Structure 1
């Protein structure tokens, strides 16, 4: 066995070509059940992230400046609720385990608040203040409850298996199903809303129909609940450790991130990457509607989410040959290239073929990234226990949701602020709106340049993650430690 030593945040460990951990193989039925958790989360939450701002401005007629405060407040709340849910998971002991019960308890309330976020009850329509209060309650409630069901999706992964390769497989299948949910429902949203609005006949045209949005949100909410219940029934928390059988207090949980540089890196990436993603996603409908004058093409490009399925399915293949970090780096470089291609298309007068190539490049690259973030967080859980002797799945992984939601909240806030500074004109009623050049420039900034900066920063941080070099040794030693603890 080839061995060498490497300094790791103040300590020296032996690194070698250790054998991969065997066993703890998760059956296919359970793999699919676990994947349904991400399918359920993405089904309606992706719609919320992409179209909520458009619904507020173009259907409810809320001033874009008013939404800036909402996203700022949500970002503050997200900095608290993620850690709260993480601590709750670490203190939960039920016959179902620590993470699974949250899918049973909170999936229905989450769906209800998502429906509220796309509803326009008559009692709020006559008052700007009432509209603002309504969207604040609905959006904040949806975001908080999303943490309640999404943090367990990540925190349960280290409990499903201790095998690093099996974790990649689980996360890949989960991401595949999550991407499938996006690929299926995002492109359908605008046509479905327009169709449902016409069926209801509320007098509004196309995607301005509030009942159309509400009915579509109800359909997606029901699918979300069914998917989360399926995940609850079909998974099993099989990795039992000393810490998983007791309530880990906060003062001990914090020790799990002491010197845990893989955790700091992935949390930073989670914050910056998903913040950039949120800005780009929210700016997309505006960009295609106003900058290009091709709103239908914007919906069509969302079909590109199908391409994520292909590269997501290939993640285990790439990881087995070049490692997790290098696989994710290819994805990061691809997202950077896609933004540069969008700039090229803009410089050539909105060249549609270049736009389609850029969109394809983006989604193909995204498929290599999403599946590996959860795996790297599981690595951080193991690293915290390996280095510090404390295993706190809930606390360590809760910062995944915290950092992603904080990034997405700040991203949405930045886009709203940029649109307001560009004097964006809210579109209500049936008449078309001509945006000033300043608004078009702001939309371009939100769709191309700000996301590009986020992807560059994410790639730079990823370059410092070297867990691949010693993950097999770490997994083997932790399994031996867990066996000793359980025997005692």
Structure 2
């Protein structure tokens, strides 16, 4: 029997634009915040490393808190949808404040970074987690959920690429040589667009499939379900490893081009090749239907690994054609992986519902948990290794630092892809499909 489709294109587009909104700020953080803190704001890399790990510990707690808040929410708009309305404005305000550079002492600057960055982390979680938690309530059609997840990632990846490519040119345009002013005006522009898109999502998406009898279960029952939801545990680890890899690579890119190749101006060009991630995202619809979601993600990991090998060759030969080819192929794999994340989390939410517990908030919090922990630990690893190797901002780097940049940019991601692959092998997709079929 062909399942009925429950969403129309205006709602699908609006749902996808919610991820575009968040990525306008998020990509600025993953790609340029470490550079901004060290080379623009003048913070010590070791201090930034501590900040990143403290922020990520806070975000782990915050992800869980926001998840519980969603599951405890009773409103005429549903459980997840009102979070877009309530938290959009404070999210954008703290995004802008994070790139404000008051002329304080080193201690004062660090304190400012802590307050603004920790605040931004909380409000980011509050507007991002609902994107994942609301997905399984939009439709009960498996193919439609896959389409919605692909649309979300298509817009999210498109904006990631736009930010990665155009941020530095916009900083130069707005700042006229003053990077502090340039970064502030750029995030201000991105923030205004983000605010509009998040509010648009609130007005156009609708939660249709919430079962009142199991939607607000006691916390102890939810915890019991989590312990039995093995697919959720596995995909949570994969998400963490993906974002750990992404953070280490993205944050090292500008250092590689600035200090190893001595061509910081090539960063936008290099990032433009990540446009290939959209190819991976689009391939999901066909590939998931043919091979299933697990095998499709495994294909994505292998593709990313092959691209990373080519990139590594380019790193050591300094041949831009090989380096850019590696980035392109790696990005196709990344598009497949990240495009499936929210879809597979939605499956684990439906699996939990089949066990009698509808806790989309807590189950979806694993996405933000993985993002926050991956970014935080990735940023910490990068900052600590730079500090230990003797990194000095805006100066020629010593041999040890240059070697460390290569290790971060090339070798660490290779090891993480291998680990990701073998962990995903234990994901049991058939168990989910059987349980959801019975539950229907």
> Which TM-score applies when normalising by structure 1?
0.87
Residue of structure 1 aligned with 2:200, choices 230, 236, 250: 230
- Distance in 2 of aligned mates of 1:43 and 1:408: 16
Residue of structure 1 aligned with 2:119, choices 126, 141, 147: 141
Q: Which runs of 5+ in 1 are unaligned?
A: 1-18, 199-204, 428-432, 480-488
- Distance in 2 of aligned mates of 1:119 and 1:445: 32
- Equivalent pair of 2:247/2:375 in contact (CA under 8 Å): yes
Q: For 1:12-23, what aligned pairs fall within 5 Å after superposition?
A: 22-23=3-4
| CA deviation after TM superposition for structure 1 residue 363, in Å | 1.2
Per-residue Cα deviation, 1:208-252 (whole angstroms, up to 9, x for no partner): 5201110001000001111101111110000121346x5333212
Instruction: Confirm or deny that 1:56 pairs with 2:37.
Output: yes
- Equivalent pair of 1:25/1:161 in contact (CA under 8 Å): yes
Residue of structure 1 aligned with 2:412, choices 427, 431, 450: 450
- Distance in 2 of aligned mates of 1:146 and 1:361: 30
| CA deviation after TM superposition for structure 1 residue 24, in Å | 4.3
- Equivalent pair of 2:102/2:109 in contact (CA under 8 Å): no
| CA deviation after TM superposition for structure 1 residue 436, in Å | 0.5
- Equivalent pair of 2:37/2:43 in contact (CA under 8 Å): yes
Per-residue Cα deviation, 1:412-446 (whole angstroms, up to 9, x for no partner): 1111101101110022xxxxx21111111111121
- Equivalent pair of 1:243/1:391 in contact (CA under 8 Å): no
- Distance in 1 of aligned mates of 2:230 and 2:433: 18
Residue of structure 2 aligned with 1:103, choices 75, 84, 97: 84
- Equivalent pair of 1:256/1:396 in contact (CA under 8 Å): no
Q: For 1:45-444, what aligned pairs fall within 5 Å after superposition?
A: 45-122=26-103, 124=104, 127-198=105-176, 205=177, 209-243=179-213, 246-348=215-317, 350-386=318-354, 388-427=355-394, 433-444=395-406
Q: Which runs of 5+ in 2 are unaligned?
A: none
- Distance in 1 of aligned mates of 2:316 and 2:35: 26
- Equivalent pair of 1:158/1:378 in contact (CA under 8 Å): yes
- Equivalent pair of 1:308/1:366 in contact (CA under 8 Å): yes
| CA deviation after TM superposition for structure 1 residue 477, in Å | 2.4
The list of structure 1 runs, each at least 4 consecutive aligned residues, that deviate by more than 4 angstroms after superposition, is none
Q: Which has the higher helix share?
A: 2
Structure of larger gyration radius = 1
Per-residue Cα deviation, 1:16-67 (whole angstroms, up to 9, x for no partner): xxx6x61243111111010011011111111111101111111111111110
| Aligned residue number for residue 16 of structure 2 | 35
Question: Which one is further off, 21-30 or 147-156?
Answer: 21-30
- Equivalent pair of 1:258/1:384 in contact (CA under 8 Å): no
- Distance in 2 of aligned mates of 1:60 and 1:243: 52
Give RMSD over aligned pairs.
1.5
Per-residue Cα deviation, 1:293-334 (whole angstroms, up to 9, x for no partner): 121222211112322222212211111111111111111011
- Distance in 1 of aligned mates of 2:110 and 2:218: 39
> Which TM-score applies when normalising by structure 2?
0.97
Per-residue Cα deviation, 1:68-98 (whole angstroms, up to 9, x for no partner): 1101101211221111000000000111110
